[in-house]
Amino acid sequence: MHLKHLRALAVLLASLPVSLACFASYDVDIMTPVTPMSRDSYNLHWGILWVCVAIFFIVFGAMFWSIFKHRKSRGAVAAQFHENTTIEIVWTIVPFVVLIGMAYPATRTMIEMKDPSGADMAVKITAYQWRWEYDYQQDGVKFVSNLATPRDQIENYDGPGAPKNDNYLLEVDNPMVVPVGKKVRLLITSNDVIHGWYVPQVGVNQYGIPGFIKEAWFEIDRPGIYRGQCSQICGKEHAYMPIVVDARPPEQYEAWVKEQKAKMPPPPAPAAAPAQVAAAGAPAAAAAPAGGAPAKPGATLTLAELKAKGEKVYMANCSACHQPTGKGMPPAFPALDGSKTVNGPKAAHIATVVKGRPGTAMASWAHLSDDDIAAVVTYERNSWGNKTGDAIQPAEVAAARK
Amino acid sequence: MSTISPAHDDHSHAHDHDHAHHGPPQGITRWLYTTNHKDIGTMYLVFSCAMFFIGGTMAMLIRAELFKPGLQFFNPEFFNSLTTIHGLVMIFGAIMPAFVGLANWLVPMQVGAADMAFPRMNNWSFWLLIPAAILLLGSFLAPGGAIASGWTLYPPLSVQQGISMDMTILAIHMLGASSIMGSINIITTILNMRAPGMTLMKMPLFVWTWLITAYLLIAVMPVLAGCITMLLTDRHFGTSFFNAAGGGDPTMFLHIFWFFGHPEVYIMILPAFGIISQVIPAFARKPLFGYASMVYATASIALLSFIVWGHHMFTVGMPAAGNLFFMYATILISVPTGVKIFNWISTMWRGSMTFETPMLFAIGFLCLFTIGGFSGLVLAIAPVDITLHNTYYVVAHFHYVLVSGALFAIMAAVYFWLPKWCGRMYNETLGKWHFWLSMIGFNVAFFPQHFLGLAGMPRRIPDYALQFAEWNMWSSIGAWLFGASQILLVWNVVATIRNGKPAPQKPWEGADSLEWTHLPTPVPYHTFETAPVIK
């Protein structure tokens, strides 16, 4: 019986590391690198780490031996020696030589990292509080990438909340798709505060600094999905602006580009004139599908259509600060429910959204389309306790941009 | 700690014959008007201890939110305020004032001076801390809550903050002014008030490291002041120092801030080196192995600290040459730092060691600070830093150098000198419990953060992806253990002051600086009114 118990215990103990490994992720290493550069960094890290470990064990081995042997309780009598020029020179020179050994390969990697020449394509990345915009310079694709994790998984104030997705906080609506085996040059900037575009496996961690464009590059050599996050504190939702890089074989990338282009709104120029007519008060005409594709140029949208679409835009862009209830988190993030701006003149409300409020956390949302801004402004003016009855048309937004 | 008294009063009576007008006044005015370096030192240490617990409480709250993924307790804005103010309070409220407090107590006694050179300025530099702390902590009550920009205050995020940013800027100005005055006092005392025969190269290492630290403070505190003043005018007076739209550059803030920030790191560690350099020889009963090389190593570290600031900025997009320069300069610092480690171990070698609490903290410092040094070396390698910048690896690194570095040294100092200060012996068993619980709690809290950083978890986030959950849980458990065990320190110190056993003049066999060899225990209110002569 005793034996049985012991055996059970042994099995339990033996399975403990396995079960820990199965049910928990005790990662202790940098994630598998997927670019030549991140591979270099990875190897550098391990090389240096082993040197450090070796030094640690030699130096502290000596110390602990001394702690063991040279203690008063074992009758040790203190020697009185001090100063020895030879040994002092040795322990200055040896670390210096070790450092040169570390600096040499690091220098090569650093120089390589800073050389974006010969790139096959360029993507301009603009950071916003709190989302990323990708603008493919050659292929003409441009989109905004938002966190896709629903808020009911995040907010657990009243209990465990909804079960969390596998890629909780590391999932986006529109990933950055790139071709494998191509040198991709990144032009990184920001619209508001400093952000950090950081994807560990790709080996890029570069601040986006408002008013300046900083360069980085990568060349991914195996298809896959690589996840990262904003690395520089950028305000309230800093934890909620992930980056997903989806590396695909070149043919699939080309197909993706075609697909994206089909989705992009047509160039606005010819539509400008009729739109202004509509804005001037033409009666509602064609019924565009609510919350759907961009409205037909010139169409006047109904309040219901705008509000339905506006709710989606609001939840994706505004609710983090102003809250789904419109109550905000005053005073940093004021309530929209009952707000003077929202219930005041239309023009001032639209201008606030388009231009932001300098010196506050309210950023410019000029990167959203006219349709989206019109919809969200309409939504805000007709939700919660706000009942202005205004239906803002995209053309009014277009006019406010000028 | 405010009652240095019972045993101490006996002595001041003896003194009162000829110095009736010099005895400490009683009650609150003693502390408000005091110009006595020992009183001011005590006030600094009490202040620092209070700040340590306030900042520590914030850390406990941070670890509570991070115990599990998801938002459990705080909204992200408040979480960011917690991390920001935790950083500022610990740096400017806990670590720096603790070192100044130790300097106040020890520098005059160790150089054989009667007091600090400018006693009234000394009083003023302490009392400036109080309004600064009120402003900094009071900003939690300001509209919008305390600043949430991280302690580094990078614009434009810091420009977006509410009035709490202005309160913080004013608080930092006052703390800076206090530090500068403290430094002038320390430098003047050391250079002008040494006892006859106390040449520079005979000074205890704590004095040497403080002399160098004080110069660092005088050099960089005005830089910080300029930096935050530009921030203030950018916020309110329409300047564009850090605003590209007006011809400025946010990157410039980073350069100026870290030109202050990196020497600041050494401001918080050099005095610790000094403490360790006195504690280890005392308990090894053997002279420090290389006194002169310790002094030169400290000076080299201080000089190098001015040319390494760019290693905080490897990801801002400096050219390769810039990154490489800062990488070389930074890894070079490990040479003099290594010299120090080797010196301490050679001092222990063939000594006759005992392991009372100060020695335990010194050995803990030695092991863990070195781990922090190694992770610093890893981070100094620019391409590796780009993978680890702003991750938990960095958080682990700076807590290894600041908690198990600076803070452990301060604790070693408190246990080491407490008997001298108050004339009573602390409880050794309780001290050892404090050490071992701190040691275990600290490592459980911070070692896993290396793994989190390697796996790519950014710092300053209230919520994280699921693969980070397990190590975060351990880190929180460790942090709470570490936090709770600090109560033992306060308990022990208070119990010692109130009813510890009387301590002899020199409780530590190997201690050899003036306060042990020339002064009774507890030290009288006024010491060295006639300077001792050092042979």
Exposed/middle/buried for B268, CB within 10 Å: 0-12, 13-18, 19+? Answer: buried
Query: Is the predicted pLDDT of residue A295 greater than 80, yes or no?
Result: no
Query: Annotated catalytic, B209?
Result: no
Q: Which residues from chain A sit within 8 angstroms of residue B462, using beta carbons?
A: 239
Q: pLDDT, tens digit, for every residue of A246-280?
A: 999 999 999 999 999 888 766 555 444 444 444 44
> What mean pLDDT comes out for the span B122-149?
95
Q: Would the CB atoms of B244 and A31 count as touching at under 8 Å?
A: no
User: Which amino acid belongs to residue B515?
Assistant: E
Cα(B395)–Cα(B451) distance, rounded to whole angstroms? 11
Inter-chain touch B458–A157, beta carbons under 8 Å: no
Q: Please identify, in words, the CATH class of the domain defined by A269-279+287-401.
A: mainly alpha
Chain A residues with CB-CB distance to B154 below 8 A: 193-194, 232-233
How many angstroms separate the CA atoms of A65 and A353, rounded? Answer: 68
Ranges of CATH 1.10.760.10 domains, chain A: 269-279+287-401
Kindly indicate the confidence band of residue B6, based on its pLDDT and cuts at 50, 70 and 90: very low
pLDDT above 70 (res B280): yes
Cβ separation A99–B334 shorter than 8 A: yes
- Residue A9's pLDDT is what? 57
In 3D space, the residue among A208, A366, A356, A212 whose CA is nearest the CA of residue B245 turns out to be: A212
Please give the C-alpha separations between residue B522 and each of B113, B363, B411, B424, B500, in angstroms, as whole numbers.
Answer: 17, 27, 19, 8, 12
Whether A398 contacts A275, CB under 8 Å:
yes
Q: Class of A121-151+168-263 per CATH?
A: mainly beta
- Per-residue pLDDT for A334 more than 90? no
In whole angstroms, what separates CA B344 from the centre of its chain? Answer: 20
- Helices and strands counted in chain A (H then E): 12, 10
Q: Which of B289, B467, B512 to mutate to test the interface with A (most CBs of A within 10 A)?
A: B467
Which of A77-86, A273-282, A285-294, B87-96 tops mean pLDDT? B87-96
Any catalytic annotation for residue B178? yes
Chain A residues with CB inside 8 Å of B69's CB?
164, 168-169
Is B312 a known active-site residue?
A: yes
Contact A239, B83 (CB under 8 A): no
Q: By percentage, how much of chain B surpasses pLDDT 90?
A: 92
What pLDDT, on the 0 to 100 scale, is given for residue B15? 44
| Numbered ranges of CATH 1.10.287.90 in chain A | 36-113
CA B12 to chain centre: 32
Q: CB–CB of A163/A237 below 8 Å?
A: no
Whether A67 and chain B come into contact, CB under 8 Å, resolves to yes
Which one of B340, B399, B420, B434 is the catalytic residue? B340
Say which CATH architecture domain A36-113 belongs to: Orthogonal Bundle (1.10)
C-alpha–C-alpha distance, residues A328 and A313, integer Å = 16
A23 in contact with B, Cβ within 8 Å:
no
Mutation test of the interface with chain A: which of B149, B339, B381, choosing the one with the most A Cβ atoms within 10 A?
Answer: B381
Taking only residues 370 to 409 of chain B, the set having a beta carbon closer than 8 angstroms to any beta carbon of chain A reads 370-371, 374, 377-378, 381-384, 386-387, 389-391
Helix or strand holding residue B383 (H, E): helix B382-388
Contacts of B469 in chain A (CB under 8 A): 24-25
Q: Does residue B1 surpass a pLDDT of 60?
A: no
Of B323, B354, B378, the CB nearest to A48: B378
**Whether the predicted pLDDT of A10 surpasses 80:** no
Distance CA B110, CA B515 (A): 6
Burial degree of A266 (CB within 10 A; 0-12, 13-18, 19+) = exposed
The predicted structure's pLDDT at residue A319? 83
B57-78 tens-digit pLDDT: 999 999 999 999 999 999 999 9
CA A44-B400-B482 angle, 5° bins: 140
Q: What are residue B183's phi and psi, to 5 degrees? A: -70, -45
Does A198 sit within 8 Å of B235, measured CB to CB? Answer: no
pLDDT band at B8 (very low <50, low <70, confident <90, very high): very low
- How far apart, in whole angstroms, are the C-alpha atoms of residue A180 and residue A247? 6
pLDDT-derived band at B27, boundaries 50, 70, 90: confident
DSSP states of A15-26 as a string?
HHHHHHHHHS--
Q: Which residues does chain B have within 8 Å of residue A76's beta carbon, measured at their own beta carbons?
A: 350-353
Q: How far is B353 from chain A (nearest CA, A)?
A: 4
What is the predicted pLDDT for the residue at B139? 94
Does the beta carbon of A22 lie under 8 angstroms from any beta carbon of chain B? no
Catalytic site includes residue B115 = yes
Name residues 472-511 of chain B within 8 A of A (Cβ).
Answer: 510
Q: Are B283 and B231 in contact (CB under 8 A)?
A: no
A 147-166 near B (Cβ less than 8 A): 153-157, 160-161, 164, 166
pLDDT category at A296 given cuts 50, 70, 90 is low
pLDDT of residue B336: 95
> Each residue of B298-345: pLDDT tens digit?
999 999 999 999 999 999 999 999 999 999 999 999 999 999 999 999
The helix/strand/coil state of B314 is: coil
Please give the Cα distance from B14 to B247 (Å, whole number). Answer: 68
Q: What pLDDT digit, counting tens, does each position of B442-484 carry?
A: 999 999 999 999 999 999 999 999 999 999 999 999 999 999 9
Domain ranges for chain B, please list them.
28-517
Higher pLDDT, A273 or B521: B521
Q: Which of the following CATH numbers is that of domain B28-517: 1.10.3720.10, 1.20.210.10, 3.40.50.970, 1.20.950.20?
A: 1.20.210.10
